[in-house]
Amino acid sequence: MGNFLLRIATNSLGLYLAAWFVPGFLVQGGWKEYILAGLVLALFNMLVKPVVKLISLPLIVITLGLFTVVINAAILWTVASFFSFIAISGLTALLLATFVLSIVNVLTSHVS
């Protein structure tokens, strides 16, 4: 349970930093919206992402792992489509926000 709460907090922090640094990526609202979006993102990463990675394993191998960026971006876009308070203005904003979230997740996974 503690690990899942850490994932929610990490995703919420990543969304906050992406909204702060990435032009075109906007999360309207306060901490409740960040926590809610972080919760849904953590659920998608826990339940959907392993299945998608297994199905797309040949593409991941062929692209030497770069296809995982596409998977992460698709998950972020899907989560953003659920909420009206998250706005992504283009592919560049989506990819940059995906990189910010990935960096935050990598840094916090090494800390814990």
CA distance 62 to 30: 41
- pLDDT for the residue numbered 112: 58
Judge residue 97's burial from the number of C-beta atoms within 10 Å of its C-beta, 0-12 exposed, 13-18 middle, 19 or more buried: buried
Per-residue pLDDT of the chain (112 residues; tens, 9 = 90+): 778 999 999 999 999 999 999 999 999 999 999 999 999 999 999 999 999 999 999 999 999 999 999 999 999 999 999 999 999 999 999 999 999 999 999 998 777 5
Bridge partner list, 87: 26
- pLDDT for the residue numbered 110: 75
Q: For the stretch 5-28, what's the b/e string if a residue is b when 16 or more beta carbons lie within 10 angstroms of its beta carbon?
A: eebbebbbbbbbebbeebeebbbe
One-letter amino acid of 21 = F
- pLDDT for the residue numbered 2: 73
Residue with tokens 């998977």: 71
Phi, psi (5° rounding) for residue 71? -65, -45
pTM: 0.92
